[in-house]
């Protein structure tokens, strides 16, 4: 016990000793006065709750690593990580933030974990739908994309990783994936090319018309044939609307249309 801890009131010293033993039973002795049988109950309950919360969010990573490596990883997280949030729902994100510290993981593990975690993040995201109408010209108007949406790029094909497929090296070009929550509150995953991913990133702030976003995209790509880009882009925007990725076009509050109206 450190000098700082020894200066604490006795009940706080006891609490620290109790939680230290729960975190790492082999390293920290069981507090005096607590029966071993009862202490084991506390140890199992707390660790099992952690295991349930993390395992539910990362089923693929759990299977890919295997039972023994997964248990060892959870034990290390449990022993070493200092939580900054009091909320149980934040444990999966804390686990994700912990993973880069573990040098023994496969090189794709952090990317895979992020891909699994983003489903939970999108599903639980608190969003406000801007005022919009489902109909309208996506080129002249400002397209509104799904409020809970993430445009992602990974160096590994995370959507394909499984027990049978574990990539040995990074991709020559990143894979672009979209994760979004549609208007039925279903989380969807879409693989797309770099151009579509960039277009959605330009549209996400809800500030550019479809035409302006495509012009910006053309400048970034060095695309000389503006007419063909606009024609192709218009078709792409309509396709994104059909997929429920684009929900419509923005309307001003002054028009009297309430948020989310269609």
pLDDT tens-digit series, residues 97-142: 999 999 999 999 999 999 999 999 999 999 998 899 998 999 999 9
Q: Which residue has the tokens 């609490």?
A: 15
Determine the pLDDT at residue 161. Answer: 98
Segments making up each domain of the chain, as ranges? 1-105, 127-262
- Helices 210-221 and 194-203 cross at an angle (nearest 10°) of 130
Q: Which CATH class is domain 127-262?
A: alpha beta
Q: What CA–CA distance (Å, rounded) separates 204 from 219?
A: 18
**CB 113, CB 99: distance < 8 Å:** yes
Query: Phi-psi category of 130—alpha, beta or left, where left has phi over 0 and alpha has psi -120 to 50?
Result: beta
All residue ranges of the chain with pLDDT < 50 are: 254-262
Q: Is 132 exposed, middle or buried (0-12, 13-18, 19+ CB in 10 A)?
A: buried
Q: What is the CA radius of gyration of the chain?
A: 25
Task: Read off the pTM.
Answer: 0.82
Helix ranges (H only) for 99-134 are 109-124
Determine the pLDDT at residue 30. Answer: 67
Query: Phi-psi category of 132—alpha, beta or left, where left has phi over 0 and alpha has psi -120 to 50?
Result: beta
Determine the pLDDT at residue 102. Answer: 94
Quick count: other Cβ atoms within 10 Å of Cβ 238? Answer: 14
**Nearest alpha carbon to residue 110 among 97, 119, 121:** 97
Q: What CA–CA distance (Å, rounded) separates 142 from 213?
A: 9
Determine the pLDDT at residue 259. Answer: 39
Q: What CA–CA distance (Å, rounded) separates 260 from 185?
A: 13
Write out the two tokens for 170.
């990074």
Determine the pLDDT at residue 9. Answer: 66
Determine the pLDDT at residue 258. Answer: 38
Determine the pLDDT at residue 89. Answer: 86
């Amino acid at each position: 016990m450190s000098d700082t801890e020894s200066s604490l009131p006795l009940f706080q010293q006891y609490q620290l000793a109790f939680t230290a033993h729960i975190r790492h039973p082999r390293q920290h002795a069981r507090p005096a006065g607590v029966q071993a049988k009862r202490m084991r109950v506390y140890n199992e309950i707390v660790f099992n709750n952690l295991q349930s919360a993390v395992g539910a969010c990362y089923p693929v990573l759990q299977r890919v690593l295997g039972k023994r490596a997964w248990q060892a990883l959870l034990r290390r997280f449990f022993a070493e990580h200092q939580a900054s949030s009091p909320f149980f729902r934040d444990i999966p994100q804390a686990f994700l933030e912990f993973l880069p510290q573990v040098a023994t993981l496969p090189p794709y593990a952090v990317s895979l974990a992020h891909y699994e975690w983003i489903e939970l993040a999108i599903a639980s995201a608190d969003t406000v739908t801007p005022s919009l109408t489902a109909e309208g010209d996506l080129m002249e108007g400002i397209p509104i994309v799904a409020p809970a949406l993430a445009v992602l790029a990974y160096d590994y094909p995370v959507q394909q990783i499984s027990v049978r497929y574990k990539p040995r090296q990074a991709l020559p070009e990143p894979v672009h994936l979209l994760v979004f929550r549609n208007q039925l509150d279903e989380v969807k995953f879409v693989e797309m090319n770099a151009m579509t991913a960039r277009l959605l990133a330009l549209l996400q702030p809800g500030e550019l018309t479809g035409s302006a976003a495509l012009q910006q995209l053309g400048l970034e790509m060095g695309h000389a044939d503006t007419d063909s880009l606009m024609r192709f882009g218009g078709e792409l925007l309509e396709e994104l609307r059909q997929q429920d990725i684009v929900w419509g076009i923005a309307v001003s509050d002054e028009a009297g249309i309430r948020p989310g109206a269609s």
